């Protein structure tokens, strides 16, 4: 059986390749190059981007394991599918999740289909901390990883159902500590390499800093929900719903970003109670399991968020109104809503403005 391993040059994908080679699979190491910078920029000691150095590390590990290694230069694909999407969403007043979109459009779902076509692979394996499981109720689906602190199933919610059949996630039943120990035991050069942090193409910058540099400032009002103008901002991309710090205004009580109106270039702020919602709107619902088979459903509205039980789902044309059994705070348009039944990922969609 031929398995391609998406190798980023980090410890997770390297151990993924090692484990599959040890099990006797015909392993092919593949790396996607998204950036042409000559070194990996660092911010506060964190590894923050993909770079030629990461490609070199992936090639070294592949040579050490005795497997072939290929590199695909997909800068243009990445820009058109991920970076341009990221910029457009922020300029629309939303807070996008570029990693989830990348998993669907570039490095996971699409890449698996591409390699099936050009390299006749059986599976694409990645270093995600999630599982591909055969569930007696739902069939072949994605499940949460064993390491709950690192579970990455949320970022796979937008991957198409048909692409799950081409995926293998060998690290899903392991913890990060176990993965590093394996790498150390086998003497892999990347055993203690720092994990990547933040969105890769930001190169350590915040979204606001990146967009200010690439798009430029666009001054507008910061307005209280009562209508009072409290100050000015230099770009709506510096804000997200639920944000409290860095608003650049003073007031008699703590204020939070309640909404962002891109048409009027206005940031709306208010008190904490304004942030709570008992329903959310979702578009582009991507189903891993047909909705009529959903049973006990909860929804996770951002990474690290504790899922909330769903009371009902109403379809309104191509949009869905998700009614919750308890209120949630800081629902940000543009983020991913991932639906679960216990450990099983049922699918996901993009949160729309309330």
Q: Per residue of the chain (354 residues), what is the pLDDT tens digit?
A: 999 999 999 999 999 999 999 999 999 999 999 877 654 444 444 454 566 788 899 999 999 999 999 999 999 999 999 999 999 999 999 999 999 999 999 999 999 999 999 999 999 999 999 999 999 999 999 999 999 999 999 999 999 999 999 999 999 999 999 999 999 999 999 998 888 767 888 888 899 999 999 999 999 999 999 999 999 999 999 999 999 999 999 999 999 999 999 999 999 999 999 999 999 999 999 999 999 999 899 999 999 899 999 999 999 999 999 999 999 999 999 999 999 999 999 999 999 987
Of the residues 40, 50, 99, 200, only one is catalytic, namely: 200
> Could you tell me if 6 and 52 are in contact, meaning their C-beta atoms sit under 8 angstroms apart?
no
- Euclidean distance between CA atoms 121 and 27, whole angstroms: 9
Q: Which domains are delineated in the chain? A: 2-127+169-202 (3.40.50.620), 217-270 (2.30.30.280)
- Euclidean distance between CA atoms 203 and 210, whole angstroms: 9
Contact partners, residue 64, CB within 8 Å, separation at least 6: 188, 189
Q: Dihedrals φ, ψ of 316, to 5°?
A: -125, 90
> Could you tell me if 269 and 258 are in contact, meaning their C-beta atoms sit under 8 angstroms apart?
yes
Contact partners, residue 114, CB within 8 Å, separation at least 6: none
| DSSP character string of 202-250 | GTT--HHHHHHHHT----EEEEETTS-EEEEES-GGG--TT--TT----
> Could you tell me if 237 and 216 are in contact, meaning their C-beta atoms sit under 8 angstroms apart?
no
- Euclidean distance between CA atoms 25 and 28, whole angstroms: 9
- Per the annotation, the verdict on 49 as an active-site residue is no
Predicted pLDDT at 37: 62
User: Is the model's pTM score more than 0.85?
Assistant: yes
Predicted pLDDT at 204: 81
Predicted pLDDT at 200: 86
Predicted pLDDT at 50: 62
- 268 forms beta bridges with 223, 259
Contacts of 64-68 spanning 24+ positions with Cβ under 8 A = 64/188, 64/189, 65/17, 65/18, 65/21, 65/27, 65/29, 66/21, 67/17, 67/21, 67/27, 67/28, 67/29, 68/28, 68/29
- Element (H or E) spanning 162, and its range? helix 161-164
- Per the annotation, the verdict on 40 as an active-site residue is no
- Euclidean distance between CA atoms 206 and 146, whole angstroms: 30
Contact partners, residue 184, CB within 8 Å, separation at least 6: 191, 192
Of the residues 40, 49, 50, 102, only one is catalytic, namely: 102
Predicted pLDDT at 49: 53
């Amino acid at each position: 059986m031929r398995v391609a391993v998406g190798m980023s040059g980090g410890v997770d994908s390297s151990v993924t390749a090692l484990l599959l080679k040890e099990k006797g699979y015909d392993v092919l190491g593949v790396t996607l190059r998204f950036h042409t910078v000559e070194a990996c920029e660092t911010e506060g000691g964190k590894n923050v981007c993909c770079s030629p150095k990461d490609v070199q590390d992936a090639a070294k590990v592949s040579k050490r394991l005795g497997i072939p290694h290929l590199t695909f230069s997909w800068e243009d694909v990445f820009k058109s599918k991920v970076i341009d999407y990221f910029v457009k969403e922020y300029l629309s007043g939303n807070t996008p999740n570029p990693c989830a979109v990348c998993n669907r459009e570039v490095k996971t779902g699409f890449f698996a289909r591409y390699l099936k076509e050009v390299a006749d692979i059986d599976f694409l394996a990645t270093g995600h901390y999630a599982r591909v499981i055969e569930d007696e109720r739902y069939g072949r689906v994605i499940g949460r990883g064993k390491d709950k602190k690192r579970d990455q199933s949320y970022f796979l919610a937008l991957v198409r159902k048909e692409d799950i059949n081409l995926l293998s996630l060998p690290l899903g039943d392991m913890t990060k500590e176990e993965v590093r120990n394996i790498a150390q035991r086998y003497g892999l050069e990347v055993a203690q390499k720092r994990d990547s942090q933040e969105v890769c193409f930001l190169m350590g910058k915040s979204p606001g800093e990146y967009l200010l540099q690439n798009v430029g400032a666009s001054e507008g009002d910061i307005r209280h929900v009562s209508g009072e103008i409290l100050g000015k901002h230099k770009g709506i991309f510096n804000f997200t719903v639920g944000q409290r710090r860095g608003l650049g205004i003073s007031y008699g009580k703590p204020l939070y970003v309640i909404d962002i109106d891109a048409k009027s270039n206005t940031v709306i702020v208010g008190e904490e109670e304004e942030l709570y919602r008992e329903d959310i709107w979702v578009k582009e619902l991507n189903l891993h399991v047909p909705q009529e088979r959903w049973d006990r459903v909860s929804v996770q509205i951002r990474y690290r968020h504790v899922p909330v039980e769903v009371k009902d789902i109403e379809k309104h044309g191509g949009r869905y109104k998700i009614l919750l059994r308890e209120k949630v705070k800081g629902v940000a348009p543009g983020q991913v809503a991932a639906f679960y039944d216990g450990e099983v990922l049922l699918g996901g969609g993009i949160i729309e403005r309330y």
